[in-house]
Amino acid sequence: MKYFILISTFFTFLSAAQAKFEVQTSTGYSSNTDGKSKNSFSDITNHFFIGASFDSKEKLVVGQNISIVSTQYKTATTDKLSTTELGPRLNYYINNERNYFVTLAWNPFAKGKRTVAGVAEDISGWSYLAALGAVLKMGNSFYLGASLNYHSLTITKSILGSTVTTVTDSYSSIMPMLNISFRFR
């Protein structure tokens, strides 16, 4: 409830300040299979962003990032990783038409579950995201495009039952993604 009130107050302030809003979603999927060993890998990642711009050229958009990552690696057993990550994000548009952008996000909150060799555990840590992309205007406030995204997750805590372990495990990926944006006042 505390976060809902904080977010509501933030967006009420932004509306009063005549901010220009942007909602963007980026989705990517990757998979491969080894025919000889029968190993397979899949990764589905979604990044959701809601932000606002205060400058007259609307080049810098600041807001909240939400990343949802699900990875699976199947060998003799199936290893899985699933996280939800939250943090601040910046979208910077390189040109005046706001077609080309650079994204930077830092997610100090990253929690989820991981299964390795049949053992399931809760995990937590942090992550960051960097992306370079382009969008085309498809309608009044609707944009469609693509981006190349680098995502890195660092796990700092593993919880198995009542045992808490400090770890330093990292996962990273580079993935092309489909971007859909809505820009409005």
The pLDDT of 50-54, averaged and rounded, is 91
Here the tokens at position 22 are 């942007």
The pLDDT of 40-52, averaged and rounded, is 94
Which of these, 126, 106, 119, lies nearest to 167 by C-alpha position? 126
d(CA 174, CA 149): 6
**Amino acid in the structure at residue 133:** G
Q: What are phi and psi of 34, to 5 degrees?
A: -95, 115
The pLDDT of 39-54, averaged and rounded, is 92
Mean pLDDT of the chain: 89
Q: What is the pLDDT of residue 45?
A: 95
Q: Is the pLDDT of residue 2 over 90?
A: no
d(CA 33, CA 41): 6
Q: What are phi and psi of 117, to 5 degrees?
A: 55, 40
Which of these, 154, 127, 14, lies nearest to 66 by C-alpha position? 127
